[in-house]
Amino acid sequence: MCRMALTFLAGALAATALFAQPPPYPSKTVRIVVPFAAGGPADLYARAIGEKLQTTLGQAFVIEDKPGGGSIVGTDQVAKSAADGYTLLMMSNTHTVNESLITEKPFVLLRDFVAVAPVNYSDLVMVVHPSVPAESLQSFIALAKSQPGRLNYASSGPGTPYHMAGELFKAMAGVDIVHVPYKGSSGARTDILGGQVQMMFDAITTMAPNVRAGKLKALATTGQRRSAVLAEVPTLSEAGVPGYEAVIWLGVMAPAGTPRSVIDKLNSEITRIVNAPETKASWARQGAISMSMSPDEFTRFVRDDIDKWARIVKISGAKPDQ
């Protein structure tokens, strides 16, 4: 073969290899599936993250709320999606709880997903309807003990942080309160505001305005220290349930097999967003604290959280249908 032909062939092969390379990520719309109802923390912060990613990466990030089955429906949809970075999951510690609470699932979290980045965490607040004759945590515990099985508490569904906060409270305070699961947090909030249920644990980020407006009474918060958003409200630990702690945290995962280059790019961008001074200040005013980790660190965090909640599920005796 002559030199000219060889040169032409080499050029053709190089051009073919160039055209065969995938375009830089992202090159089309990215979906972030939120397996919870609209209006809750996962939905709100997914939209905040998606808006920033859209600005910096130049492609649309569309938020899709897919509630149902205590997060199972939407999560399974992402698990079955292509592992190309164009379908992401906004997850929470509902997912780490469900690994031990709901064993019959169509997916296993750390088998079928890869950790991308954490987003934030926030304390919960224990609220009661104004009609409940209790002005403090201790008086509520006394009321519950005097009427076993008569009081109830709402949650956004089995395995959610609100459900597990209630089950942990029952176990540690020694009270018998009936769990009323809803298909999403919006329904639970509507009914506690209307007095159909007596008590609820909810994220401070979404419930504080109702407390300030006098629509609900806040008896305690669930963190190790008092929340700056509701500084006048004691923690459960200081108000009568020593050692109690429960939070809600959020993060992003992708289907297993998603290229590491995509994971690293998303992690870098999300970390930059959550650590931006304006983001941290804005979220702190709402009661949320930014979290940042590498993909490997977040994987270990998720694994440790699965182990922690497995112990709590066992201690509390919580069941998926309670």
Q: What is the pLDDT of residues 10-61, one digit of tens each?
A: 555 555 554 557 789 999 999 999 999 888 899 999 999 999 999 999 999 9
Residue the block writes with tokens 């690994």? 99
pLDDT score of 75 more than 60:
yes
Q: What is the mean pLDDT of residues 228-254?
A: 95
What's the CA gap between 264 and 240, in Å, rounded?
44
Same domain, 188 and 288: no
Same domain, 98 and 135: no
pLDDT score of 78 more than 70:
yes
The domain total for the chain is 2
Same domain, 131 and 84: no
Nearby residues of 174 by Cβ (< 8 Å), 6 or more positions away: 145
pLDDT mean across residues, the chain: 92
| Residue 68 within any structural domain of the chain | yes
pLDDT score recorded for residue 18:
47
CATH number at residue 282: 3.40.190.150
pTM score, whole prediction: 0.85
Q: What is the mean pLDDT of residues 239-245?
A: 94
Assign 74 to helix, strand or coil.
Answer: helix
> Are 59 and 30 within 8 A, CB to CB?
yes
> Are 284 and 228 within 8 A, CB to CB?
yes
What's the CA gap between 319 and 54, in Å, rounded?
40
- Angle, CA of 176, 313 and 317, to the nearest 5°: 40
| Residue 10 within any structural domain of the chain | no
pLDDT score recorded for residue 317:
78
Kindly state the tokens that stand for 6. Answer: 């060889």
pLDDT score recorded for residue 74:
97
Phi/psi of residue 207, nearest 5 degrees: -95, -25
Enclosing domain of residue 161: 123-239
Same domain, 267 and 197: no
Same domain, 143 and 105: no
Nearby residues of 4 by Cβ (< 8 Å), 6 or more positions away: none
The tally of CA atoms less than 13 A away on the side-chain side of residue 51 is 8
Q: What is the largest CA-CA distance in the chain?
A: 98
Same domain, 108 and 155: no
Which residue, 217, 239, 261, sits at the end of a domain? 239
Helix (H) or strand (E) holding 308: helix 295-316
Which residue, 186, 215, 239, sits at the end of a domain? 239
Task: Read off the DSSP letter of residue 69.
Answer: G
| Residue 282 within any structural domain of the chain | yes
Angle between helices 295-316 and 93-101 (to 10 degrees): 50
pLDDT score recorded for residue 299:
98
What's the CA gap between 29 and 50, in Å, rounded?
11
Cα 42 to Cα 10, 107, 143, 207: the distances in Å are: 52, 20, 33, 14
pLDDT score recorded for residue 77:
98
Same domain, 143 and 113: no
Q: What is the mean pLDDT of residues 259-276?
A: 98
| Residue 222 within any structural domain of the chain | yes
Q: Among 227-236, 279-288, 310-319, which stretch is predicted with the lowest mean pLDDT?
A: 310-319
pLDDT score of 116 more than 80:
yes
Rg, C-alpha atoms of the chain: 23
pLDDT score recorded for residue 207:
94
Phi/psi of residue 68, nearest 5 degrees: 135, 140
What's the CA gap between 307 and 38, in Å, rounded?
29
| Residue 21 within any structural domain of the chain | no
Percent of the chain with pLDDT over 70: 93
What's the CA gap between 293 and 143, in Å, rounded?
43
pLDDT score of 285 more than 60:
yes
| Residue 162 within any structural domain of the chain | yes
Same domain, 45 and 117: yes
| Residue 197 within any structural domain of the chain | yes
Kindly state the tokens that stand for 293. Answer: 């980790």
Q: What is the mean pLDDT of residues 245-251?
A: 94
Output the CA torsion 13→17→19→21 (10° steps): 180
Q: Among 11-15, 106-110, 181-185, 277-281, which stretch is predicted with the lowest mean pLDDT?
A: 11-15
The amino acid that residue 299 corresponds to is T
Helix (H) or strand (E) holding 178: strand 178-181
pLDDT score recorded for residue 12:
57
Same domain, 281 and 219: no
Nearby residues of 124 by Cβ (< 8 Å), 6 or more positions away: 161, 162, 165, 201, 202, 203, 204, 221, 222, 246, 247, 248
pLDDT tier at 2 (50, 70, 90 boundaries)? low
Same domain, 36 and 89: yes
| Residue 159 within any structural domain of the chain | yes
pLDDT score recorded for residue 136:
97
